[in-house]
Structure 1
């Protein structure tokens, strides 16, 4: 079995609209300790991350504590919304979840995001079969991965987790076949079966 802990980044600094360089708020930086504490006894062999700073920062404390390198994988990056910032994110997100081919002029569809994330994940499942590892990621990107295996995870489920940062999703695989998906809320220590 291969066990993967997807770590959705901690609270990011929305004053910075640069997707790649946006860091974490003070609360976000403090909450990274929750991630470290949770992962400490999970037998993590390897760490992977989106190349975006907020994801890297979220697992940096754990990486330093366990003396593990973080390997960046470009295809685990978050969905590109557009060239600029949009204010009505909820309406935009709902449009995308209702139509996986919907996008703004310079953005990505959820289908495109899902395809590249699943492709990267399946390559890791082949290359790192039988290992336990963590992947630092993003809310929309991770939600499209969950949706791939559990199609009932749609807009309402996504909107339920939109403000949960950091957020952990544990997935268990037999080869490349998903056996189990579990959501873990680090703030309440509650677990929810997804698949």
Structure 2
């Protein structure tokens, strides 16, 4: 059995609109300890992450405590919305969940995000079979993975987990077959 813990990053600094360099807020930095505490007894073999700063920084204290390195995987990154900041994020998000192929001119559809995240996950399942893996992730990216394994997972589920930072989802696999899925809410308000 291969166990994968997807860790949605802690609270970011929303004043930084650059997706690549958006750091954690002071609360987010503090909440990294929740992630470390949760994962500390899980016998983790490898730590992977989206290349975005907020996911790496969320996992850094845990990885250091276990003497593990964090390997970045570009395909686990968050969706690209567009080249500009979107003020009406809720309406945009609803459109994307209604139509998985909808995207802005310079952005990605949820289908594209799901395709690259699932391909990256399947490569991990192949490369790290029978291991315990931690993957630093994002709300939308993780939601598309959950939708892949349960088509009933939709907009309302995304909205439910949207404020949960950090949030952990554990998936257990027999080769490529999902055996179980469990959510852990670490968010402390």
TM-score range, shorter chain: over 0.9
Give the corresponding residue for 1:20.
20
Give the corresponding residue for 1:86.
86
What displacement does 1:106 show? 0.6
CA distance in 1, matches of 2:127, 2:187: 33
Give the corresponding residue for 2:169.
169
CA distance in 1, matches of 2:173, 2:55: 23
Q: Is the 8 A contact 2:49 2:136 kept in 1?
A: yes
Partner-residue secondary structure (3-state), 2:17: coil
Give the corresponding residue for 2:186.
186
Unaligned runs of 5+ in 1: 189-195
TM-score (norm 1): 0.95
Partner-residue secondary structure (3-state), 1:142: helix
CA distance in 1, matches of 2:19, 2:3: 28
Partner-residue secondary structure (3-state), 2:157: helix
CA change 1:125–1:92 in 2 (3 A) is: same
Q: Is the 8 A contact 2:165 2:187 kept in 1?
A: no
Give the corresponding residue for 1:31.
31
CA distance in 1, matches of 2:71, 2:120: 13
Q: Is the 8 A contact 2:51 2:77 kept in 1?
A: yes
Alignment map for 1:1-195 (pairs within 5 Å): 1-187=1-187
After the TM superposition, list the runs of 4 or more consecutive aligned residues in structure 1 that deviate by more than 4 angstroms.
Answer: none
What displacement does 1:186 show? 1.3
CA distance in 1, matches of 2:27, 2:87: 23
What displacement does 1:133 show? 1.1
Q: Could you report, residue by residue, the CA deviation over 1:68-120 in whole angstroms, capped at 9, with x for unpaired residues?
A: 00000000000000001011111111100010000011100000000000000
TM-score (norm 2): 0.98
CA distance in 2, matches of 1:144, 1:187: 21
Q: Is the 8 A contact 2:46 2:68 kept in 1?
A: yes
CA distance in 2, matches of 1:10, 1:52: 12
What displacement does 1:27 show? 0.1
Q: Could you report, residue by residue, the CA deviation over 1:8-47 in whole angstroms, capped at 9, with x for unpaired residues?
A: 0000011111100000000000000000000000110100
CA distance in 1, matches of 2:162, 2:124: 26
